[in-house]
């Protein structure tokens, strides 16, 4: 087969010549069909593909008959290699970066290279596609209007609990990557940090044969996974903290009137602001109006 072609179900397609640039190509997170046609064209048309692990990526590249030269770029050599790669692009090469699965740089190598490439002003293109964070969020049933992705939690129990504690009042849906062997312990830690009732979703083996979603409270899922070795890859999603409901104005103003008969005005204001989680200024203004009979 001529170079710069790719195959889909045995049929050959030509890949157009690419401009010199760095191309960040998303690859599947399990199902080999989850790659875009543009992704295939870009991988087939490039001068070089930087792979997190060339053996892992060979499965994908062979499945689509892509013969582009490969080399490895991983967390242990990415800083040392970044300048050479930028120089190659400057000298006219088209270079792709892929990781073992999903979108490069998302809890995967590539950030030092992209930062240097951006500083050097060379063109960088995203060829978007699969990423476990978005797949898991979309199917979770948790709010998607705003969310935060935190990558992997610390592996050590105390550090993990402390990190979760820092996020206790975070109001957006939280998405974490987790290793299967720590999933049970992390679910227990979520219950400990956020209370038994917080809604949690575990998305396991997305796009693969044994894809499964587990939904429930932190307590339910911690019990379900307790002592179990999870098989396959997981994303853990946690509902954001509930925003405090605004106190009923009639209720707090009645309480304020009653308290102003017992306490000096400032003392009553402080207590009502604290008890009803209100801004002190707002309560103080109401107290003046009530005192002056407005």
Query: Binder to ligand SAM among 18, 106, 187, 189 (CB under 6 A)?
Result: 106
Alpha-carbon gap, residue 148 to 99, rounded angstroms: 22
Site residues for ligand SAM, 216-275, by CB under 6 A, read 233-235
Residue with smaller CB distance to ligand SAM, 65 or 129: 129
Query: Binder to ligand SAM among 108, 172, 199, 214 (CB under 6 A)?
Result: 108
Judged by CB under 6 A, the stretch of 4-12, 35-43, 58-66, 96-104 that binds ligand SAM is 96-104
Q: How many residues bind ligand SAM (CB under 6 A)?
A: 23
Residue 263 CB, shortest distance to ligand SAM, in Å, is 54
Residue 177 CB, shortest distance to ligand SAM, in Å, is 3
- Residue 186 is a binding residue for ligand SAM (CB under 6 A): no
Judged by CB under 6 A, the stretch of 130-138, 216-224, 239-247, 282-290 that binds ligand SAM is 130-138
Judged by CB under 6 A, the stretch of 54-62, 175-183, 243-251, 284-292 that binds ligand SAM is 175-183
* Neighbour count for residue 198 (Cβ, 10 Å): 20
Residue with tokens 């790659």: 35
> Residue 232's Cα: distance from chain center in Å?
18
Q: Which run of H or of E encompasses 10?
A: none
- Residue 78 is a binding residue for ligand SAM (CB under 6 A): no
- Residue 74 is a binding residue for ligand SAM (CB under 6 A): no
The edge-to-edge listing of strands for the beta sheet with 124-127 is 70-72, 48-51, 94-98, 21-25, 124-127
Burial 25-51 (b: 16+ CB within 10 A, else e): bbbbbbeeebbeeebbbbbbbbbbbbb
- Residue 41 is a binding residue for ligand SAM (CB under 6 A): no
Residue 136 CB, shortest distance to ligand SAM, in Å, is 6
- Residue 34 is a binding residue for ligand SAM (CB under 6 A): no
Alpha-carbon gap, residue 68 to 49, rounded angstroms: 7
Under 8 Å between Cβ of 203 and 237: yes
Could you tell me which residues are beta bridge partners of residue 201?
A: 215, 237
The string of DSSP letters for 199-239 reads: EEEEEESTTSTT-EEEEEEHHHHHHHHTTPPPPS-EEEEEP
- Residue 187 is a binding residue for ligand SAM (CB under 6 A): no
Binding residues (CB under 6 A) for ligand SAM: these are 29-30, 99, 101-103, 106-108, 131-133, 177-179, 203, 205-208, 233-235
């Amino acid at each position: 087969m001529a170079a710069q072609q790719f195959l889909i179900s045995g049929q050959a397609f030509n890949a157009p010549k690419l401009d010199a640039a760095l191309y960040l190509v998303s690859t599947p997170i399990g199902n080999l069909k989850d790659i875009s046609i543009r992704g295939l064209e870009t991988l087939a048309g490039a001068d070089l593909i930087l792979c997190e692990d060339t053996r892992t990526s060979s499965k994908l590249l062979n499945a689509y008959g892509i013969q582009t030269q490969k080399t490895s770029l991983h967390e242990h050599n990415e800083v040392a290699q970044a300048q050479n790669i930028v120089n190659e692009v400057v000298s006219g090469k088209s270079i792709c970066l892929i990781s073992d699965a999903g979108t490069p740089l998302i809890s995967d190598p590539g950030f030092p290279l992209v930062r240097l490439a951006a500083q050097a002003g060379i063109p960088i293109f995203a060829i978007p596609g699969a990423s476990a964070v978005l797949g898991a969020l979309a199917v979770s049933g948790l709010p998607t209007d705003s969310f935060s992705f935190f990558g992997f939690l610390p592996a050590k129990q105390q550090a993990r609990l402390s990190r979760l504690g820092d996020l206790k009042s975070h109001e957006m849906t939280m998405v974490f990557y987790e290793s299967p062997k720590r999933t049970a312990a992390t679910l227990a830690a979520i219950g400990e940090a956020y209370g038994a009732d917080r809604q949690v979703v575990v998305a396991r083996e997305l796009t693969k044969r044994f894809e499964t979603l587990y939904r429930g409270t932190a307590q339910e899922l911690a019990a379900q996974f307790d002592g179990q070795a999870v098989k396959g890859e997981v994303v853990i999603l946690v509902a954001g903290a509930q925003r405090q409901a605004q106190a009923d104005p009639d209720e707090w103003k009645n309480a304020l009137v009653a308290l102003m008969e017992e306490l000096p005005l400032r003392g009553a204001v402080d207590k009502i602001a604290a008890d009803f989680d209100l801004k002190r200024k707002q309560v103080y203004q109401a107290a003046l109006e009530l005192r002056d009979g407005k």
